[in-house]
């Protein structure tokens, strides 16, 4: 799997789901922490303890209250 194809990682019940840019998802039986050090070095960010994002796919960031 090419790292630049990964959009977001989600962790649920000891599984990590890799959501890819083609809309597909792959499931792996490891917690998100198993991938964290590798992906942080590639620019990924932890936005929550259950999510990591690839900033290449971040379209905007802001407060939607206004």
The reported pTM is 0.82
> Alpha helix (H) ranges present in 1-66?
33-41
Cα angle 53, 30, 27; round to 5:
65
The residue among 21 and 63 whose pLDDT is bigger is 21
CATH numbers and ranges of domains, the chain:
3-57 (2.40.50.40)
47, HSE (Cβ side, Cα atoms, 13 Å): 13
Average pLDDT of every residue of the chain:
90
The residue length of the chain stands at 66
Residue 61 has pLDDT above 80, yes or no: no
């Amino acid at each position: 799997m090419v790292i630049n194809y990964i959009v977001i990682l989600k962790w649920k019940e000891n599984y990590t789901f890799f959501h890819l840019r083609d809309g597909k998802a792959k499931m792996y039986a490891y917690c998100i922490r198993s991938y964290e050090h590798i992906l942080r070095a590639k620019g990924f960010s932890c936005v929550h303890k259950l999510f990591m994002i690839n900033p290449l796919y971040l379209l905007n960031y802001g407060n939607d209250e206004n």
